[in-house]
Structure 1
Amino acid sequence: MTFCRSIASLLLSCTFALVPGAHAAGIIVHDARNRDVAVTDVARTVSIGGAITEILYALGLESRLVGVDTTSLYPPSALHDKPNVGYMRKISAEGVLGLNPSLILAIQGSGPPETMDILEAAKVPLVLVPETFSEDGLVEKIKLVGHAMGVDARAACLSAAVSADLAQLRALRAKVTKPVRVMFVMSLQNGRAMVAGHKTAADEIIQLAGAANAIDDYDGYKIIGDESIVAAKPDVVLSIERGKDSLQADAVYAHPGFALTPVAANKSFITMDGLYLLGFGPRTAAAARDLSVKLYPALANQGGSFTSALSATNCRQ
């Protein structure tokens, strides 16, 4: 009888070990709310935040994803293959819970608050991933996501590759002798510019590229007038591609404020893919390098080559 019970116990333990995404002992994740979240099953994970989804794919965990949000644009197959739970700041609780998730990974700032409250009350483990716009913040984001999913070794591999890319970027940035002044403009609303200040992804990517944010007197995003634009003296306007809502170069050059700055005089306008530029996922170092070469074309011929460790490393197994 004891022998039979031992065999039964062994079979049960083996069966549990083979269940995709199951954590035998559970994992504790300390998240952005300064809370410890117990994760026991990642077989049905919902990802809210493009950077989180990108990390999960880079770690080879896409088979565990049962839903993503609309910012999950990379890889393109994510939004194409997985159910869509809406925009990260306007998530539908019903849409998420209807997927019967065993874990929800959401980037800090996801919402609205009432939706997050409902998800909390549903007793599904909800890990709020910190969104810190810095090199260290990016690496820690990868480690936290990997830890939550029970793949710390893969996360260490990905973190090392991203850290190597960031080191290359620092070497490239050191070649910049005179930082240009960049103004990130999200949009022009009734002729007024919505512009990024400090403590934003735009501010950090500008600095990572070896440039200076032309706005240095406030945090977050703010609509500013013509006088403030002229006073900031931007050399370059940076924006993101948003389809038909994308900011156009001609609109910037013709704007009364920008017309009195070097931006219009030098026709200096750069636009890049939004998730690539501002997502702070694994490709951030490459995005900052691409921006740096756009800002300083001479770098391409002065040791500006960038061989991504990320593209040469397989952290999916």
Structure 2
Amino acid sequence: MPRLIRLAAAAALACASPALADPHPDASRVLSLGGAVTEIVHALGQQDRLVGRDTTSSFPPEVLALPDVGYVRALSSEGVLSVQPDLILSEEGAGPPETIALLQEAGIPFETIPEGHDAEGLARKVEAVAEALGVPDAAGPVIEEIRADLARVEQANAGGGQKKRVLFILSLQGGRVMAGGEGSGADAIIRLAGAENAVSGFQGYKPMTDEAVTAAAPDVILMMQRGDAQADSDHNASLAELAAMPALAVTPAVRDGAVVTMDGLLLLGFGPRTGAAALELHDAIYGAGS
């Protein structure tokens, strides 16, 4: 069955229109907005064209030497224009809308790269970046590597057995659990890793009541770290801190000390490392070698 699913996905991708973005082969000053987009530019071998990045773009490490124009969803036109881009590649959701409108009015080519959490969506994302940069032929090897990584995850998931229930906690601000529900990136990576999202009934990321957290009864709690002290204080917590919260203290995850923390961009970026991220998460949930 998994092979049939892969073949169906490949067939659907082959039938899709390849023109996912307008080509800009002569663009030499490219600004990348979104960690996954920046990673894809590097994977395509086009990193020498980058002149700037957003705050979420932190991999590979060499991108940190590029000017940071701000958070992708809270951009200023001044910050973006300061790097004098002749092409902007952006993940979906960049903003605020008035800033994006000003940039487009300035005549700077602005290409929005489609979001995607599964094999087909990731392939479309890579193809869109390659198309925009005018190097469509470079997409193939990157997509094949992603598919090979996802195949390894699929093999790791083939062991069967009871799926563990994972609660992704985006933040604990104010003592309330902000969790990843259906349709979120957290939901997608949990499922890719062969586990089950412990929460359902809502879309995206929303706060949960204490009663709902306890009722979710997760086997594993998943959190992320971003490398920034302030951001990590909002998005990450120690086992002792989780155990101090009554709603979480009674869950199997906290009782068993089953708390997994991963790099935020690796976990939720959905770029070329997605398969590696899912495999790392699988091993953390079920134990390496299972």
2:254 matched residue in structure 1: 264
**Which residue in the other structure is 2:166 paired with?**
182
Judge conservation of contact 2:219–2:258 (CA < 8 Å) in 1.
Answer: yes
| Matched AA of 1:250 | A
Q: Give the distance between the partners of 1:179 and 1:116, measured in 2 at CA.
A: 43
Corresponding position of 1:71: 56
Contact 2:91 2:115 in 1 (8 A): yes
* Aligned 8 A contact 1:29 1:127 in 2: no
Cα distance in structure 2, aligned partners of 1:206 and 1:175: 16
Q: Deviations over 1:207-244 (max 9, x none)?
A: 00000001111101111111000111111110001343
> Shift in Å at residue 249 of structure 1?
2.0
The C-alpha deviation readout for 1:192-221, integer Å capped at 9, x for no partner, is 101110111111000000000011111011
By how many angstroms is 1:165 displaced? 1.1
Larger radius of gyration: 1
Look up the match of 2:37.
52
Give, in angstroms, the shift of residue 153 of structure 1: 1.7
- Partner in structure 1 of residue 191 of structure 2: 207
Higher strand share: 1
Q: Counterpart in 2 of 1:276?
A: 266
Moved more, 38-47 or 235-244: 38-47
Determine which structure has the larger helix proportion and give its number: 2
Q: Which letter maps to 2:246? A: P
Q: How many residues align?
A: 267
Percent identity, please: 44
Residue 97, structure 1, aligned to residue 81, structure 2: yes
Report deviation, 1:133: 2.0
Aligned partner of residue 96 in structure 1, secondary structure: helix
Q: Secondary structure at the match of 2:246?
A: coil
What per-residue deviation string (whole Å, max 9, x for no partner) do you get for residues 166-199 of structure 1?
A: 1111111121421100000011122210111011
| Cα RMSD for the two superposed structures | 1.5
Contact 1:129–1:141 (8 Å) recurs in 2: yes
For residue 271 of structure 2, what is the amino acid of its counterpart? G
The reply on whether 1:250 has 2:243 as its aligned counterpart is no
What residue number does 2:26 align with? 41
Gaps of 5+ in 2: 1-17
| Residue type of the alignment partner of 2:121 | G
Amino acid at match of 2:46: L
| Alpha-carbon distance in 2 for matches of 1:30, 1:138 | 13
CA distance in 2, matches of 1:187, 1:62: 33
Which letter maps to 1:118?
L
Deviation at 1:40, TM superposition (A): 5.4
TM-score by length of 1: 0.81
SS in 2 for 1:30: coil
Deviations 1:50-84 (A, max 9, x none): 001111111111110011111111011102x2111
**Deviation at 1:38?**
5.7
What does residue 4 of structure 2 align with? none
1:39 alignment partner, SS class: coil
